[in-house]
Amino acid sequence: MRINKYLAECGLCSRRKADLLVQDGRVSVNKKTVREVGTDIDEQNDVVYVDGKKVVRPTHFDYIMFNKPKGCVTTVNDDNDDKSGRPELRTEDRVPADGKRPRKTVMDYLDGVKSKRLYPVGRLDYDSEGLLILTNDGDLTYKLTHPSSEIPKTYVVRIEGGIEESDLAILRKGVKVGDVKYGRCKVKVTGVEEGSTRLEVVLFEGKNREIRRMFEAVEKNVTFLKRVAIGDLRLGGLSRGSYRELNENEIAYLKGLGGVADDGERV
C-alpha cells in the first residue's frame, strides 16, 4: 500500500496532504525517514510515524454531518492557511505572543467528538456556511474530494442586485478568472427581493472560493452562501453550529458516489 493511502486511512489527512508530509521529511517507516511520495509499505508489518508519533489505522470509522456557521475556519488547526477562504487577517487579529489564535475552527463546535480525530471532507470558506462532512475514513474523503468524482454540491446563494439571463448563461458554461478555469455548473434564480437576488447553484468541482469568484467574473457580489446538499444528502433542519452522526443508509449512499479507483480513474 502506498504511504499516502495508508496515512489517509489512518484519518490523519488527505492523500495530497500526506504527500506533502512525506516530502517535508515528517514521515518515517520503522524509524527511517522516507521522502519518496511513491513509497510502499506493508501495513501488517511496517510501523509508520508522523512527527515522531506512531499512526495506526482506526478499527472503526465515524461520519459526522455538521452545519458550519459563518465565521469559522474549515480546518482542524487554524494555521492561517489561505485555502480556508478567510479574509486576510488584520494586524490586531494576528496570532499573539502566547500562541492562541483568535479565530474559531470547526473543531470548536465538536466537543463531543474531538477525541475521534475527525477531519473535514473538503472545505467551506470562512464567510460561507452549511453542510460539511467530517470523518476519519480516508478512502471516503478521497472519493468525495477527487475532481474525477464530479459529485454535485448544491448551494443557496444571494447576490446584490439583479442578474441577467446572459450572465447566467456565462456561468453555466464555466468562466475563467485569471489563470483558473471554473467548470460548468447549474444555476437558476429562485427569488428576487428588494436589492438582491436568490439563486440555487450546483457545482461539480470544488475550487477555492469558486462561487464567489464565478459571480465576480460577471460583476456580481455574493452576500450569502450556504451549502445545502452533497449529492442527495441534504442538510435538512440541522441548526447552525450543530452536528449529528450519519445513519447507515447515508453512509452507504456516500460510499456509492463518485466511483474513483485508487489510481484516480473513474470505475
Active site positions, annotated:
125
Q: Tell me the three cell numbers of residue 45.
A: 508489518
- Reading the block at residue 199, the C-alpha cell is 439563486
- Where is 27: in which H helix or E strand? strand 27-29
Which set of grid coordinates corresponds to residue 39? 513509497
The 10 Å Cβ neighbour count of residue 78 is 18
* Dihedral over alpha carbons 182, 186, 190, 196 (to 10 degrees): 10
Instruction: Render 48-82 in DSSP notation, one character per residue.
Output: EEETTEEE---SS--EEEEEEPTTEESSSS----G
Strands (E), 71-210: 72-73, 104-105, 119-120, 129-135, 153-160, 176-177, 180-181, 185-193, 196-203
Q: Are 76 and 117 in contact (CB under 8 A)?
A: no
Q: CA neighbours within 13 Å on the CB side: how many for 75? A: 17
Q: Give yes or no for a contact between 178 and 162, defined as CB atoms under 8 angstroms apart.
A: no
